[in-house]
Amino acid sequence: MVDRKNLRTPIVSVMGHVDHGKTTLLDKIRGSSVAAGEAGAITQHIGATEVPIDVIVEKCGNPSLRERFVVPGLLFIDTPGHHAFTSLRSRGGALADLAIVVVDINEGFKPQTIESLQILKRFKTPFVVVSNKIDRIHGWNPVPNSPFLISYNKQAEHVKGYLDNRFYEIIGELFNIGFNADRYDRIKDFQRTIGVIPISGHTGEGIPDVLMVLLGLAQKFLEVSLQYDATGPGVGTVLEVKEERGLGTTVDLILYDGMIRKGDTIVLGSLGEPIQTKVRAILKPRPLSEIKSEERFQQINKVIAAAGIKISAPNLDGALAGTPLRVATAETIDKIVKEIKQE
């Protein structure tokens, strides 16, 4: 049995074409509505949202799942879909343990969808494909928040037929890129076959299935790689460097291993020599809320992976998004500076 205490939260990157419903899907999972408050409902930054296992189990409507899964929850990174954000996206892809690729079932694959899939292929990241917007199919009769099959079985024959046709086009496109795929409920081995899950981010249909499949994947693929030394020095990736009122320059980062404490020495990448500084404050948004839409940060003294946090420290001006951030001690600092410089 895996020791629950030393399992970190799996990091799930949400990828896909702009407007295909990434943030809406996350909102449905979060039960919030960040998309409505965003410029054009497009995510311009990588944010992170932690969804605890209890929330997931509740959405799946099956309390007995709590015992089946050892992972503490899922940490979703919402990656921008805009083509200008390719570098950010590949950063999100490299950081993630798992990914969701969102595709509009009515529009099929777009260049960004294909690019996302190629990033995942390159990093060998396990993923699922979510074919969104089934509620837009002509004649669709929604069954809000229900598992996909319950909803599907209540549709008229011609509606099912249309969905099946669109669905097989997506399977075909995946095959052309070199992936074997099928509908998630027909798959016996997720290591060989990519699961495709029809959903509606709008009505919540199929969301329980997405969460279940992700938990299953996390459990199967990641038990070994999610073991971490909870007391080890923190390792993370800088997502964004920004000015915050009252705090000066801060960095948003995803911590994916170990721990960071207030007062720790950290080393992070810049255009010149790596920056060495001391953590002045660690700020965490409230649970179930996005880094970027939440004004009220909690100040905390330490944080354990995986988490999306903001760090305030002196001399962060030259910090670069996309570079590693590592906690150093007097003994390790020279070695870490050298390693970060090479990257």
DSSP element (H, E) containing 45: none
Mean pLDDT for the stretch of residues 264-289: 86
Evaluated on CA atoms 50, 76, 336, 311, the torsion sign reads negative
pLDDT of residue 288: 52
Give the whole-angstrom CA distance, residue 49 versus residue 56.
13
Most confident of 28-42, 185-199, 228-242, 294-308: 185-199
Burial, 38: exposed, middle or buried (Cβ in 10 Å; 0-12, 13-18, 19+)?
middle
Contact 241, 323 (CB under 8 A): no
Contact 71, 7 (CB under 8 A): yes
pLDDT higher than threshold 50 for residue 38: no
pLDDT of residue 156: 97
pLDDT of residue 4: 59
pLDDT higher than threshold 90 for residue 193: yes
Give the whole-angstrom CA distance, residue 135 versus residue 199.
8
pLDDT in tens, 142-159: 999 999 999 999 999 999
The confidence band for 328, taking pLDDT boundaries of 50, 70 and 90, is very high
pLDDT higher than threshold 80 for residue 33: no
Mean pLDDT for the stretch of residues 262-268: 96
Query: Mean pLDDT across the chain, nearest whole number?
Result: 82
Closest among 341, 172, 332 to 270, alpha carbons compared: 341
Which residues of the chain are in CATH 2.40.30.10 domains? 235-342
Number of C-beta neighbours around residue 142 at 10 A: 16
pLDDT in tens, 231-264: 789 988 888 888 988 889 999 888 888 899 999 9
The confidence band for 77, taking pLDDT boundaries of 50, 70 and 90, is confident
What's the start-to-end Cα distance of the chain, in Å?
37
The confidence band for 286, taking pLDDT boundaries of 50, 70 and 90, is low
Q: Which residue has the higher pLDDT, 233 or 288?
A: 233
Q: Which residue has the higher pLDDT, 59 or 128?
A: 128
Which residues of the chain are in CATH 3.40.50.300 domains? 4-222
Q: Which residue has the higher pLDDT, 43 or 314?
A: 314
CATH architecture assignment, domain 4-222: 3-Layer(aba) Sandwich (3.40)
B/e letters for 42-77, b = 16+ CB within 10 Å, e = fewer, are: ebebbbbbbbebebbbebbeeeebeeebbbbbbbbb
pLDDT of residue 53: 80
pTM of this prediction exceeds 0.85: no
CATH number of 235-342: 2.40.30.10
pLDDT of residue 186: 95
The confidence band for 220, taking pLDDT boundaries of 50, 70 and 90, is confident
pLDDT in tens, 91-138: 555 678 889 999 999 999 998 889 889 888 888 889 999 999 999 999
Q: Percent of the chain having pLDDT more than 90?
A: 42
pLDDT of residue 46: 44
pLDDT higher than threshold 70 for residue 34: no
**55 vs 58, 64, 72, 220, CA distance in Å?**
5, 13, 11, 21
Evaluated on CA atoms 63, 69, 72, 78, the torsion sign reads negative
The confidence band for 84, taking pLDDT boundaries of 50, 70 and 90, is very low
Q: Which residue has the higher pLDDT, 86 or 112?
A: 112
pLDDT of residue 45: 36
